[in-house]
Amino acid sequence: MPDWFIEKEVPSMINHTEVESAQDFMLSNDIMIVPLLSAGGMRIKIIEGMALGRVIISTTIGAEGIDYKDGQNILIANNAKEFNRQLSWLKANPEKLYEIGQNGKKLVETYYNNQRITEKLLSFYR
């Protein structure tokens, strides 16, 4: 993370920079926001957050490579207005925290677990 972003003070936002345990940090929050605007490959932290049953709000670019369904197992927002709208929607519909989180967890268990990935890799090698 660039220094200018770490040093920037934004009301109602806490920048945690590095945390001791990513898993403990994710488990301590219901929502994981991943506002990526450029990247390559799959974002493993999104998969890890989904595996823990967290609701992920990310951009289309952030969710690239993941077989997601917007509104079902992840929430997509591509600009500040959309991120605010998704957060407001979750606040108005708190039951969706559990539902979307569990759907994301099922997605990871079905398509991204180590056994399935290993089987695909072995099949490819054969």
Looking at CATH, the fold of the domain delimited by 3-125 is given as: Rossmann fold (3.40.50)
Please give the Cα distance from 107 to 34 (Å, whole number): 18
CA 28 – CA 80 distance, rounded (Å) = 24
Beta carbons of 49 and 32 less than 8 angstroms apart: yes
Is the model more confident about 39 or about 113?
Answer: 113
Q: At what angle do helices 95-111 and 80-92 cross, to 10 degrees?
A: 110
Output the CA angle 88-94-96, nearest 5 degrees.
95
Please state the rounded mean pLDDT for residues 95-110. 96
Q: Residue ranges of the domains in the chain? A: 3-125
Checking if the pLDDT of 125 tops 80, the result is yes
Q: How large is the average pLDDT for residues 60-65?
A: 92
Q: Is residue 115 pLDDT above 90, yes or no?
A: no
- Judge whether 43 and 62 are in contact, CB under 8 Å: yes
Residues 7-53: pLDDT tens digits? Answer: 888 887 788 888 899 899 999 999 999 988 887 666 889 999 999 99
> Could you give the percent of the chain with pLDDT greater than 70?
97
